[in-house]
Amino acid sequence: MALRQFGNRKALALVGLIGGVLLIALLVFLREGPAHNETSSQPLHLTVIEVQPMPFKLTARGFGITRPVQTWQAVANVAGRVVHRHPELNSGTLLPAGTLLLALDPGRYQLAIAETEAELASLAAEQAKLAAEAQNTRHLIQLERERLALSEGELSRIERLLKTGAVSRSRLDEQLRATLSQRQLVQSLDNQLSLLPSRQQYLDAQIQRANTRMEQGQQDLQDTRFIAPYDLRVRAVEVEEHQYAGLGQPLFLADGIEQAEIEAQVPLTMLRRLMSAVSKPDNSQEPALDITEKFEFLAIQSEVQLTGFPAVRWPATVSRVASGLDPGTRSGRVVVTVDQPYSLVQLPERPALQRDMHVQVNFAADSPTSMLAVPSSALHQGEVYILGEDNLLQRRPVEVAFEQNGLAVIESGLAAGELLITDDPVPAITGMKVEPHRNEDLEKHLQRRALGIAQ
């Protein structure tokens, strides 16, 4: 009985398996073939451009805060009471060069100068007296030497007479004493004359010391007056008229308005491209210590733009690259200078370029070589679509050097003369038929954009 049940189950399984195979065969036989789409064989109408090297203007930008090139922190080098303060010496006021801004009481310094002048006059009189004394001493020496010559002659005559017995010994002794006395007088005058140069040196030292005090007094007197050395804008005033100003006390703070500078923080990738475009050939054997010897800063076109106001701009020049990187952003620091930042003021539409304004600095330099550039929109995840043989679409991987102003500069993967598809067909299947339409206007537009010409 058990054997019969086992044989029935086996027969049922075999029948089910055969029925399943027959059902699958029937479905395969009766299925419909894929519908043939007549439109899929029609070529796609796509826009193409010819890839060509083109002149390129490399650009970079950075942000920074404006500051004046010259700042004057007026400090009292001498103490005194404020006797004059310019009526317009207030924060924000523009004052021209040569304006007397502040004056301290000059009385004590004028008295010191007058005292020194009197001392110099006294020393000059001493010098005149010493010169007259020297001249008189020389005359006396001349006379006394003549008397000494006469006395020595008389002594010689008496000595000859003593030998003949014509004069006494006492007469000889008397003449000898007179001669010795005359010699002593001449020697005394010689000693007195030899001391005159040291006295003259002492007077010269006294006069030099007095002249030093005179110069110091004149400098102190000059330091009582604060005259604007250049056109400036007053930032802060810390003293009032009739107030006593102590030595070293800050008086006011002013900024020059002839030049302003900005230390722009520029990303290193942009800065590296910009510097490579203006680098000078290194023909010297020794490394250049000054960075200006390596780069032609004058070849960089720069412009300062007020943040939030694109139409407010000032022309600028690159003056230097500051040492090191910005500690916060790790970017390069390029310093630009703006001449006459107040000359283009048209209030309220155009303000002056004042201290602490946040600005954007734009840089541009011509690339030394032409570059293959395509629209950034033609890139599709590292690939471009090109028109191959028989007008068939091909996908090509490319390496992009950098992107700028809506253009992608191709480092490798494309060659000059190839036709690039600028549209984005969906789906983009390799080998699909394309009916190309070359857009020469777009090619010219790309060339203008590569040169930074506004559209």
Write out pLDDT tens, residues 117-164. Answer: 999 999 999 989 988 988 988 898 899 888 888 888 888 888 888 888
Residue 127: which CATH number? 1.10.287
255 neighbors 111 (Cβ within 8 angstroms): no
At 239, the pLDDT band (50, 70, 90 cuts) reads: very high
Among the candidates 222, 250, 269, a domain finishes at 222
Q: What is the mean pLDDT of the chain?
A: 86
Predicted confidence (pLDDT) at residue 434 exceeds the cutoff of 70: yes
List the one residue out of 51, 46, 49, 34 whose CA is nearest residue 433.
46
At 366, the pLDDT band (50, 70, 90 cuts) reads: very high
Average pLDDT over residues 417-440: 89
Q: For residue 129, what is the enclosing H or E element?
A: helix 107-164
Structural domain tally of the chain? 3
The answer on 359 and 309 residing in a single domain is: yes
Order of strands, edge to edge, in the sheet holding 44-50? 393-397, 383-387, 419-421, 44-50, 434-438
In a domain, 116, yes or no: yes
Exposure string for 178-188, b = 16+ CB within 10 A, e = fewer: ebeebeebbee
pLDDT given for residue 35 in this prediction:
45
The parent domain of residue 380 ranges over: 44-56+370-450
Predicted confidence (pLDDT) at residue 287 exceeds the cutoff of 60: no
Among the candidates 350, 366, 382, a domain finishes at 366
Among the candidates 316, 351, 366, a domain finishes at 366
For residues 111 and 287, give the distance between their C-alpha atoms in angstroms, rounded to a whole number.
Answer: 59
In a domain, 249, yes or no: no
In a domain, 389, yes or no: yes
At 36, the pLDDT band (50, 70, 90 cuts) reads: very low
Average pLDDT over residues 21-34: 60
Amino acid at 104: L
For residues 237 and 222, give the distance between their C-alpha atoms in angstroms, rounded to a whole number.
Answer: 20
318 vs 151, more confident: 318
pLDDT given for residue 119 in this prediction:
92
DSSP codes, 184-253: HHHHHHHHHHHHHHHHHHHHHHHHHHHHHHHHHHHHHHHTTEEE-SS-EEEEEE---TT-EE-TT-EEEE
In a domain, 390, yes or no: yes
pLDDT given for residue 107 in this prediction:
92
